[in-house]
Structure 1
Amino acid sequence: MSVHARLRAAVPAPMPSTQAGPPEVAGLPGRRMLVQRSDDEVVAQPLDDAFVVRAGAGVRFPAPWPRSLGTWEVAPDASLAVFAGVHAVRAVDPSGATRWEVRHGCWYGACREMHESYDEYADRQDHRYPESGSVGFSADGGLVWAHVRGPLSEGELSPDTADEWLVIDAGDGRVLGRADAEAAAAGSLHLPHPTDPHQMGLSIGEGQDGAPLRWGRWDGKELAVYCLDGDLCLLGLSPSGDRLMTVSHDQDSLAVRDSRGAVVEALDWNAEAAIPRHSEAPTDTDASEDGLDVCWDWAGGFLDETTLVASTVESDEEWGQGRHWLVDTTGRHGFVPVDYPSPVSGEPTALGGGVWSTLSETRDVLHVWGLPGLEG
């Protein structure tokens, strides 16, 4: 049995793939926008419910440094873009003016300088491939959560603090709260609670060393950080925010958890047990010795409160077409392969409201997919 995906929209990228990173759909249903980053700017184009770009509503934010030197996010109302760079978190308005900046320690591991500007290290060979943090806007756009390398310019939490997690006022850049992230990141990603601006997920990658997962709560005075057990990559939150979708660092386990890290209702699946081997993979060899193990991709998310989209593209690609899976967490249907009207490339990205996207092979068009009866 399989489910048949329906193409909802084909959304062209605003910039050519030769000049920019892949386009993405950001925001929650009802406030979605198409965003894309080049070395020079970020483009944000509001989308209607049919994923059509709203005419004349696009915004461009000049970028303060190349896209290889950090990450970025656009505010839910597209009034501000925040760039997480090597030496600072900087908020920029559409004119290119700096709204505010929070300087921090350098993300190049051997550097102990407190840089004042990008120009200080722009031409330094040893800063070409730094590690990085990330930023995320709260659901209402009022807060910016930032994962940075310590110390801040005004001092550090303690001599042993490597990475800090900050809560920042999005309007004026005041650091409202600080906490030790208890990590030494190579990169990270924020996932905001969809309804509560005072909660945020932080998925941290430490390369081969692990994948710490943090959950933050800001009560207006103090930032409390919960360290979830295990090496877990956070892929998505359910529409209520009560459930997290995670994949283990070794890509063996896909699970649904609460914000304290506990698996919800035994919703934890081993890839080898849940997913059959690819139909084109050999069957007369030992999987563990010949690299035929099925593994989860670090991709997917919630389509609605009880339905996930997941994929096994990485382990499938040697044998043929990568596979996407619909996961019914109520147990009625289990894991069902997704059929598309034409071959798709890469991994799925859940957009909520019953839909998900895939990127064209040329990386210049986003295809938005849905299922009858599931789309909201």
Structure 2
Amino acid sequence: MSTDPIHADAVHHTARLVATVPLPLGSARADAVQLLPWSGRLLLVQHGDEELAVAEIGGAGAQFRFPAPWPRRFGGATVSPGGDVAVFSGVHSVQAVDRTGEVLWELPHGCWATATCAWTRAPLASYRDDPRHQNPDQGSAAFSVDGKTVWVHVRQYAEGRRPYEEWLVLDAADGEVLCRAETMTVGAGSVHFPHPDPACMGLSIAQGDDDAPVLWGRRDGRALAVARAEGEILQSVSPSGRHFLCTDPGQWALYLHDAADGEQLRRVDARAVLPPVPGDDMARWDYEGAYPYEDGAVVSTEEYAEVPRHWLVDPRSMSVRGRIAYPVPVAGSPRSAGPGMWCTVAGQDAAVHLWRLADEAGEVGEAGEEIRS
């Protein structure tokens, strides 16, 4: 297929709507939705100021909530594959809680606020209204796919040295640190990307400039080996886990990496293959994307637009196969929803649409049973 900019925009691939799922907390009082595609289970997660809401998509359709130890502006949260434990990554510590809000374990760490403080395990009342702790930087956390470990990005302080950041792998049962590595970053925020192999994890760290790195970690017992890609932002991991897809802070190109060693295999420049929309000097890849098929990633340009353009890209050749055509309006960028599917936000951020490619007979059919909601 031609990768000429004119031809790429002319070929369309139809998306089939699988399900529309209302957001449990809406959009006004909660962060953007997360989709956690654990093996055999898809969880929709929303973090509000007072609770973390979780809805199982398909299966029994269970819904449950975790009391939040602090408002969402003070950190992020994630949920275990079993849905029985939530981990909150906060300004001063990482906490694991059950559905009643009981703290199962807590890992204190250095303060993420811009003003250095010595507080650890600080009660919320001691910093909630403190001007120095408003709009803090943030780390993040994620469970491995088997639920046995939790990977966390934290800030640390030690006497005689500047603040530094670490990537820790914790025992999910008790929070024990199993292995660690310094990230050599000054992060403003981060996102974890679980891998089909529970010993592996991706971490994308925002630093507010063009040297934002992607870290690819592999745990071997008490050792954590980390491969690094400078100046890139991780979008998604392939269903097999063999590859991962990135863009860059300038949104110039897509990059395909080998997950075994982090090596960049190939790239595609947006300017070379996509026409710009009227008024723009060039097309630019968005920061989020999905990798639902080994031979097909769904990525976008102009996520800010009323009608963003979503594209089907073949990672094997990094060629644009054409544009995604939707039967209903979508907003923003596509996001991962597990093998064979991706998701988009519905109008007014009130629901999430789940999609498959209508013309993918083999691989889509093998991705799992049809989801009912």
Tell me the residue number matched to 1:223: 224
1:22, distance to aligned residue in structure 2 (A)? 3.1
Q: CA separation in 2, counterparts of 1:41 and 1:302?
A: 30
User: How many equivalent pairs are there?
Assistant: 350
1:81 aligns with 2:86: yes
Does the CA contact (< 8 Å) of 2:216 and 2:262 recur in 1? no
Matched, 1:11 2:21: yes
Question: How has the CA–CA distance of structure 1 residues 331 and 160 changed in structure 2, closer, same or farther, with 3 Å as cutoff?
Answer: same
Aligned residue number for residue 368 of structure 1: 354
Distance 1:88 1:43 in 2: 21
Aligned-partner Cα distance in 2 for 1:307–1:179: 33
- Paired with 1:350 and 1:68, the residues of 2 have a C-alpha distance of 24
Amino acid across the alignment from 1:80: V
- Same amino acid, percent of matched pairs: 40
The structural deviation recorded for 1:209 is 4.7
Once structures 1 and 2 are overlaid, which stretch shifts more, 99-108 or 15-24? 15-24
Deviation at 1:256, TM superposition (A): 1.1
Match among 109, 112, 116 for residue 117 of structure 2: 112
Higher relative contact order (CA 8 A, sep 6+): 2
Structure 1 portions without partners, runs of 5+ = 283-290
Query: Does the 8 Å CA contact 1:28/1:351 hold for their aligned counterparts?
Result: no
Q: Which whole-Å CA distance do the structure 2 matches of 1:332 and 1:178 have between them?
A: 34
Task: Note the C-alpha offset of 1:140.
Answer: 0.3
CA distance in 1, matches of 2:74, 2:318: 45
Q: What letter is aligned with 1:184?
A: V
Deviations 1:154-204 (A, max 9, x none): x68x8355111111110011111121111010000111111x111111100
In structure 2, the CA distance between the partners of 1:106 and 1:326, relative to structure 1 (3 Å rule), is: same
1:159 matched to 2:161: yes
Question: 4+ residue stretches of structure 1 with deviation over 6 A?
Answer: none
State the SS of the aligned residue for 2:66.
strand
How far apart are residue 371 of structure 1 and its match? 1.2
Counterpart residue number, 2:371: none
How far apart are the structure 2 equivalents of 1:112 and 1:125? 12
SS of the equivalent of 1:362 reads: helix
Q: Aligned partners of 2:186, 2:348: CA distance in 1, in Å?
A: 34
Structure-2 residue corresponding to 1:295: 284
What's the CA shift for 1:17?
2.3
2:257 aligned residue: 257
1:300–1:347 contact (8 Å) kept in structure 2:
yes
Equivalent positions of 1:1-376 (< 5 A) are 1-28=11-38, 30-48=40-58, 54-55=60-61, 57-117=62-122, 118-151=124-157, 159-160=161-162, 162-194=164-196, 196-228=197-229, 230-259=230-259, 260-264=261-265, 266=266, 268-278=267-277, 281=278, 291-314=280-303, 317=305, 321-331=307-317, 334-372=320-358, 373=361, 374-375=363-364, 376=367
* Cα distance between partner residues in 2 of 1:146 and 1:162: 14
Contact 1:161 1:182 in 2 (8 A): no
Q: Report the TM-score when normalising by structure 1.
A: 0.88
The one-letter code of the counterpart of 1:179 is: A
Q: Post-superposition shift, 1:277?
A: 1.9
Contact kept in structure 1, 2:215 and 2:228, CA below 8 Å: yes
Stretch of structure 1 that moved more, 331-340 or 217-226: 331-340
Amino acid at match of 2:103: T
Q: CA–CA distance in 1 between the matches of 2:75 and 2:318?
A: 42
The Cα of 1:111 is off from its aligned counterpart by 1.3
TM-score (norm 2): 0.89
Equivalent residue number for residue 288 of structure 1: none
Deviation of 1:225 after TM superposition, in Å, equals: 2.0
Q: Evaluate the alpha carbon distance shift between residue 304 and residue 332 of structure 1 in structure 2; reply closer, same or farther with a 3 A threshold.
A: same
Is the 8 Å Cα contact of residues 81 and 93 (structure 1) preserved in structure 2?
yes
Q: Which runs of 5+ in 2 are unaligned?
A: 1-10, 368-373
Distance in 1 of aligned mates of 2:74 and 2:139:
10
1:29 positional shift: 5.3
Deviations 1:309-330 (A, max 9, x none): 000024x72xx62100011234
Provide Cα deviations, 1:217-270, integer angstroms capped at 9, x if missing partner. 211112222222x21101111112110100012110101111333222x3x100
How far did 1:331 drift?
4.4
Secondary structure, in 3 states, of the residue corresponding to 1:68? helix
Matched to 1:270, the amino acid is D
Matched position secondary structure for 2:41: coil
Q: Deviations over 1:280-309 (max 9, x none)?
A: x15xxxxxxxx5221100011211112100
CA contact (8 A) 1:22 1:364 kept: no
